[in-house]
């Protein structure tokens, strides 16, 4: 915001309260109430306002207090945000970032445990990225703000407490590039967001059992980095996808289709996909855990793939 006076933030409680997860803490004091705008509880209205602001030259960052609430703005995100550059014949660009906390938290109930990446992936004209570390959260956010395209940035409610030393100098992360988390030889594990940590926990067990998994955080949910993914598939010949998204119509399903279409000849075994169960996320903690992929399931899936 210091670098570019066109950047502004809007959303519920983003101002003096500092955001529901304190992402915008201190910004209202520093940049004023107009650049850090507290909005009413009306997602369709302030998302539409953000899109209009982007059309007229600003670079708004719109926060959904919880990503599930952005379903109320689905019309604005799909019919306006994604399509206006095309339907205006290129007269308008929509340099907007839509971001917020989502995913399965700790007993937040079904409505507050949404994974909206599956909802938004079919909208033409929109890029989607998911951060998983403090380093890539900052790098992806800065890249998204500077992009001329509308970008949806998915943050996970359980990752806000992560700490990491990040560079003082300016840097950005490529919005269309996956991250190689752990090189390996036996199987390619594709994951993103919070599931990265479940996979890395499983990887320790797998290494002790003699397996050498390659772990890739895909980060870019749309478009996929098929260059990085393809090179890994050509090396390991086996693929396991681990996601928190729903199984039906999720990111994993799209990844399976892309890999099968482009790299089927390199596969020595069918692609496996571990996803959340197709049920509303229960409030009860024990049941909630059962709906989400756990490290033990990842270990069992790799053992099955590498038989």
Measured in whole angstroms, the distance separating CA 300 from the mean position of its chain's CA atoms is 26
Which conformational region is residue 97 in: left (phi greater than 0), alpha (psi within -120 to 50 degrees), or beta?
beta
Kindly give, in sequence order, each residue whose CB lies less than 8 Å from that of residue 210, ignoring residues fewer than 6 positions away: none
Helix H, strand E, coil C: the string for 25-84 is CCHHHHHCCCCEEECCCCHHHHHHHHHHHHHCCCEEEEECCCHHHHHHHHHHHHHHHCCH
Q: What are the catalytic residues?
A: 43, 112
Euclidean distance between CA atoms 188 and 90, whole angstroms = 39
**What token pair was written down for 204?**
């320790």
Euclidean distance between CA atoms 42 and 239, whole angstroms = 42
Alpha helices per DSSP H over 83-187: 84-87, 117-120, 134-146
47 with 76: CB under 8 angstroms? yes
């Amino acid at each position: 915001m210091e670098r570019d006076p066109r950047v502004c933030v809007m959303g519920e409680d983003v101002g003096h309260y500092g955001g529901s997860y304190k992402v915008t803490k201190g910004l209202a004091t520093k940049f004023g109430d107009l650049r850090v705008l507290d909005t009413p509880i009306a997602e369709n209205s302030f998302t539409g306002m953000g899109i209009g602001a982007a059309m007229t030259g600003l670079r708004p960052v719109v926060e959904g207090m919880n990503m599930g609430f952005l379903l109320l703005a689905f019309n604005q995100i799909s019919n306006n945000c994604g399509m206006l550059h095309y339907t205006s014949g290129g007269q308008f660009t929509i340099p907007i970032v839509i971001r917020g906390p989502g995913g399965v938290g700790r007993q937040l109930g079904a409505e507050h445990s949404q994974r909206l990446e599956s909802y938004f992936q079919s909208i033409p004209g929109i890029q989607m990225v998911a951060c998983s570390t403090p380093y890539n959260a900052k790098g992806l956010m800065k890249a998204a703000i500077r992009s001329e395209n509308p970008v949806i940035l998915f943050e996970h409610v359980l990752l806000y407490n992560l700490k990491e030393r990040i560079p003082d100098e300016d840097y950005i992360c490529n919005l269309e590039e996956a991250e190689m988390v752990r090189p390996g030889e036996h199987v390619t594990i594709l994951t993103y967001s919070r599931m990265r940590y479940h996979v890395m926990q499983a990887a320790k067990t797998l290494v002790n059992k003699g397996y050498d998994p390659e772990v890739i955080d895909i980060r870019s949910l749309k478009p996929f980095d098929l260059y990085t993914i393809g090179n890994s598939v050509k090396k390991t010949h086996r693929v396991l996808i681990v996601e928190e998204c729903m199984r039906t119509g999720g990111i994993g399903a799209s990844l399976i289709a892309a890999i099968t279409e482009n790299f089927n000849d390199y596969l020595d075994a069918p692609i496996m996909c571990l996803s959340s169960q197709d049920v509303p996320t229960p409030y009860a903690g024990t049941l909630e855990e059962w709906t989400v992929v756990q490290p033990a399931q990842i270990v069992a899936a790799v053992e099955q793939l590498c038989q």
